């Protein structure tokens, strides 16, 4: 199956008021594809823990591989490439300029090379490296943080957004339907 583009910037949700329907519609083209979910973030930096939190809630409970890359996603390039997925779904707290807890689905081209992430390596650069090594598409699910300070707790807005993303991933990739991947 050829890689699939998901329209970026058109799926802007307020996680506090949405029932996940818009997120399901945005990500539904991924159902049935050989996907890898990659969570990115630092668990000791408040809302930056969003990616790892989603991974913790879905690992072993969905039909696709889940990788919690923590704050160093570049260390997992080999693991992702060896699985030869059709699609890589990167979940991370991203500076989007929207209210805290807002969830935004972005294509690789929608993510700037600098500035939208809380990590030293640009997630766009990571996605470009994945795309160079795979015939796969990369989609981002960005969650707008309220704060990313060291030692800060996760905000209620981001906790709610994490629950919405988790619920959607459980629906899209039910655990009883396993996908064959190396």
Q: What is the DSSP letter of 67?
A: E
Supply the pTM of this predicted model. 0.85
| Burial of 162 per CB tally in 10 Å (0-12, 13-18, 19+) | buried
Half-sphere exposure (Cβ direction) of 88: Cα atoms closer than 13 Å: 33
pLDDT digit string (tens) for 49-58?
999 999 999 9
The residue to which tokens 């805290």 are assigned: 100
pLDDT at position 8, please? 35
Pairing of strands 102-107, 35-39: unpaired
- In angstroms, how far is CA 35 from the centroid of its own chain? 11
List Cα–Cα distances, 164 to 66, 115, 130, 141, 171, in angstroms: 17, 25, 26, 11, 11
pLDDT at position 5, please? 30
CB 130 within 8 A of CB 77: yes
Backbone angles phi, psi at 75, to 5 degrees: -70, -10
Q: Per this entry, what is the length of the chain?
A: 182
pLDDT digit string (tens) for 89-113?
999 999 888 999 999 999 888 887 6
CB 27 within 8 A of CB 168: yes
CB 40 within 8 A of CB 119: yes
Q: What is the DSSP letter of 142?
A: E
36 three-class SS: strand
pLDDT along the chain (182 residues), means of 10: 32 47 90 94 95 97 96 91 93 92 89 61 81 87 93 95 95 78 54
The residue to which tokens 């699939």 are assigned: 4
CATH superfamily of the domain spanning 20-172:
HybD-like (3.40.50.1450)
């Amino acid at each position: 199956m050829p890689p699939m583009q998901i329209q970026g910037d058109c799926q802007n949700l307020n996680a506090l008021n949405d029932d996940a329907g818009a997120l399901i519609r945005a990500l539904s083209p991924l159902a049935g594809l050989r996907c890898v979910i990659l969570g990115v973030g630092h668990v000791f930096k408040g809302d930056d823990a969003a990616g790892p939190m989603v991974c913790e809630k879905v690992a072993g409970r969905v039909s696709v591989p889940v990788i919690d890359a923590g704050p160093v996603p570049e260390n997992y390039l080999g693991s992702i490439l060896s699985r030869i997925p059709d699609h890589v779904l990167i979940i991370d707290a991203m500076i989007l300029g929207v209210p805290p807890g807002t969830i935004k689905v972005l294509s690789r081209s929608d993510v700037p090379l600098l500035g939208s992430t809380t990590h030293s390596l640009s997630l766009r650069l990571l996605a470009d490296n994945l795309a160079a090594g795979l015939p796969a598409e990369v989609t981002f699910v960005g969650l707008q943080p309220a704060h990313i300070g060291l030692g800060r707790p996760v905000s209620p807005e981001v906790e709610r957004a994490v629950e919405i993303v988790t619920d959607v991933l459980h629906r899209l990739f039910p655990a009883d339907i396993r996908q064959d991947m190396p």
